[in-house]
Amino acid sequence: MVKYVCSSKDSNAWSISSQDVALQTFHTEEEAILWFQHQYPDKNLVFSGYEFDGNYLKNYVYNNDIELGYINKYSF
């Protein structure tokens, strides 16, 4: 099973409650992308594609070359 966890500069999954993390966790990549689009409706979002950072697969989210957050892809 795969899950997608969204972390933004304003709502980082490592520093919020488990209940809030659950609200930022999705079963599909499309749902995770929609979460970012909802969080930043006026931004031109660019997704990097998944990269392995040594620990996790991350899809970084940018606006005008400024990182806004990332989507962690978990398989278990």
Residue type for position 64:
N
Q: How far is 28 from 40, CA to CA, in rounded Å?
A: 19
Q: How many CA atoms within 13 Å lie on the side-chain side of 36?
A: 27
Model confidence over 15-49: pLDDT tens digits? 888 999 999 999 999 999 999 999 999 999 999 99
**pLDDT recorded at residue 73:** 96
As a whole number of angstroms, the distance between CA 61 and CA 44 comes to 10
What per-residue confidence (pLDDT) applies to 2?
95
CB 69 within 8 A of CB 46: no
| pTM value surpassing 0.85 | yes
